[in-house]
Structure 1
Amino acid sequence: MNDIESRISSSFFAQGLMKTLGATLMSVSEGEVRISLPFSAALSQQQGFAHAGVITSIVDNACGYAALTKAPEGHDVVTAEFKVNFLRPAIGTSFLAVGKVVNAGRLLTVCTGEVFAIGDAQSAPKLIAVMQATIATVSSKA
């Protein structure tokens, strides 16, 4: 595991929300992070789809961690703003959130995120949501 992967992994596993949701850190590379989430009825909304808040949470984290791969040592990141478009109902056996850095500045990093619904082995993943996020770089706590 390289330094970037270790840094992201340590932060991810310190998050109570990701643990509560059952999310898994799938891959980390410079400027890109992938997070997987199995569907659970406990995470559904009233019509049985995965709740928008759950989908937003995993893609926000994917974008934030993608931004963290570009942040200098001694710094952390926090979400400053995001916009999510839901393209279709979140129906699947699992979901994959992919966060990618578009531009990393000194204080702000702009990322895009996509969430795919994964069904059975015969069906292709379906894009269900897209995110545009602005992530702020902040000093880490000592």
Structure 2
Amino acid sequence: MNTIPVLEYIHKMINGSLDENDRTFMIYPTAISKTLGFRIAEVDKGTAIIEVDTDPLKHGNQQGTIHGGYLCELADAAIGTAHSTLINEGESFTSIELKTNFFRPVWKESLRAVAKPIQSGKTISCYICEIYKSNGKLAASVTSTVMTLRGEKAKGR
């Protein structure tokens, strides 16, 4: 078995060069991302872009638009992916705050969630994730505060 850093693992996953023996200490792709159809399009140290094709028949609310919670989860996945590239083995992290502003409704659409740090600290980091429609217009903007956990606090997470 070949344990590699998260960033290297995701790069290999994106470009299709993962070896059957490649492993990392985090789970990629995540179960929720597989369930919701999220795809990691790009990743770098502290940044990530997640894409998804939405469908109101699967992701819709009572008005027929894509549910806001789905957009929040898309942003949370992008932010979590971005932050995981900064985490060392034996560490973990958790979101401690998430704020979403919705600017445009979304229906059947290809979305692109772009996450990057506003401020990266040793324990507390803040991110912004902007969700764009295929026409380049901003659908939502999400900010999140993430806490890195170490030692006993990271065990079992």
Normalised by the length of structure 2, the TM-score is 0.77
Unpaired runs of 5+ residues, structure 1, are: 119-123
Whichever of the two has the greater Rg, that structure is: 2
Q: Structure 1 residue 52: deviation in Å? A: 0.5
Identity of aligned residues (%): 28
User: In structure 1, what is the equivalent of residue 51 of structure 2?
Assistant: 36
Whole-angstrom distance in 2 between the partners of 1:6 and 1:42 = 30
* Structure 1 position 18 matched with structure 2 position 21: no
Whole-angstrom distance in 2 between the partners of 1:34 and 1:12 = 14
Q: What are the equivalent positions in structure 2 for 1:66-85 lying under 5 Å apart?
A: 66-85=82-101
Whole-angstrom distance in 2 between the partners of 1:5 and 1:65 = 12
User: In structure 2, what is the equivalent of residue 141 of structure 1?
Assistant: 155
User: In structure 2, what is the equivalent of residue 127 of structure 1?
Assistant: 138
Cα-to-partner distance string for 1:43-81 (whole Å, 9 max, x where unaligned)? 111222111011100101111221222233421221110
List structure 1 runs of 4+ shifted beyond 4 angstroms: 7-10
- 8 Å Cα contact 1:32-1:66 kept in structure 2: yes
Whole-angstrom distance in 2 between the partners of 1:72 and 1:105 = 14
* Structure 1 position 48 matched with structure 2 position 51: no
User: In structure 1, what is the equivalent of residue 113 of structure 2?
Assistant: 97
Q: How many residue pairs are counted as aligned between the two chains?
A: 135
Q: Structure 1 residue 104: deviation in Å? A: 1.2
Whole-angstrom distance in 2 between the partners of 1:5 and 1:37 = 22
Q: What are the equivalent positions in structure 2 for 1:51-62 lying under 5 Å apart?
A: 51-62=67-78
Normalised by the length of structure 1, the TM-score is 0.84
Q: Structure 1 residue 11: deviation in Å? A: 2.6
Whole-angstrom distance in 2 between the partners of 1:46 and 1:91 = 12
